[in-house]
Amino acid sequence: MLETMDYDRRADRLLTREDLTGAAIAARSLRRTFKGGIEAVRDIDLTVSRGEVFGFLGPNGAGKTTTVRMLCTLLPPTAGTAAVAGLDVVRDAADVRRRIGVALQEIGLDPVQTGRELLELQCGLYGITGERGRRRTGELLDLVGLTEAADRRTKTYSGGMKRRLDLATALVHSPEVLFLDEPTTGLDPASRLTIWDEVRRINADGATVFLTTQYLEEADKLCDRLAIIDNGRIVAEGTPAQLKAEMGHDVVSVSVDASEVAATEVALAGLPGLERVVAEADGLALYVEDGASSIPEVVRRLERERIRASAISVARPSLDDVFLKATGRRLEGQDTNQPTTGVSS
């Protein structure tokens, strides 16, 4: 499977031998168009190294789940190529499935079975049967802290317990690559932290983790590298530190009335140390060398132009600033169901 460079004519650009052997996940010009011409994923390129926790950050409808479904062999790409664990997701789909674990956004559990029965079944589907299957089930129940609830039907589980069991079902065969599609969406902060710990532990055991999320904090704290996807395109990619560093040193946020945004931008143009300005609906984000020393000048200029700011604050750039720069809008605060510790869209 690794012999040729031109193994797939569907690709606009080809996966190289290095992509296949070195990367846990590689995608080139990957596209998915649904009926009616809806372009969910538009020619994305991705390379995820083995052993990484790679984050795929974006708002609802950005194309995260469609990408995961293509990489997991659940959905064929309309164009482009992708390989997971060195295998083509279309041509070698069956082999890919043996090497990956998947916990999709919708928790895939059978409510009539107990946690133990589901895990034993899952083991069986991966060829781990009999005593081996029972032993592996016991290990996984321990791992996700569900031993006591193991013999209860899953319909009685809380959201966090279901998510942990779903995660365990993705781990029965110790996959090389683990796909987690919004694994903490809808969970309370405590359950979210538990999942984070488990992801770190799974990664420490050698699995590459591909994690989609709409939570900035999750991407920031959990991922070695991440890509930001919006409207089906990857708009930024790098380590969280790199992405934030590209934004400048400090962010001065100036909140003004929507009607005064343009005038404020004019007033603050040429501010000493200013690296970048991004206009928002109700204010400006100023990326400056030194936030604290910029404030007096910002206030002076606003007073001179008789612009009334409702708030001025200084912060280090966040991934939300990266998202803002890349898309022109914030990811933060778009989701009313967001957790207190994270930010979502």
The residues binding another protein (CB under 8 A) are: 72-76, 94, 97-98, 100, 102, 104, 106-113, 117, 121-122, 124-127, 129, 153, 169
Query: CA nearest 238: which of 251, 229, 228?
Result: 228
29 close to 11: Cβ distance less than 8 angstroms:
yes
Residues with Cβ within 8 Å of 146's Cβ and at least 6 positions away in sequence, in order, are 115, 161, 164, 165, 168
- What values do phi and psi take at 277, rounded to 5? -125, 135
H-type helices in 27-158, by residue range? 64-71, 93-99, 115-125, 130-143
244 close to 317: Cβ distance less than 8 angstroms:
yes
User: How far, in Å, CA of 181 to CA of 169, rounded?
Assistant: 14
The label of the residue with tokens 């950050």 reads: 57
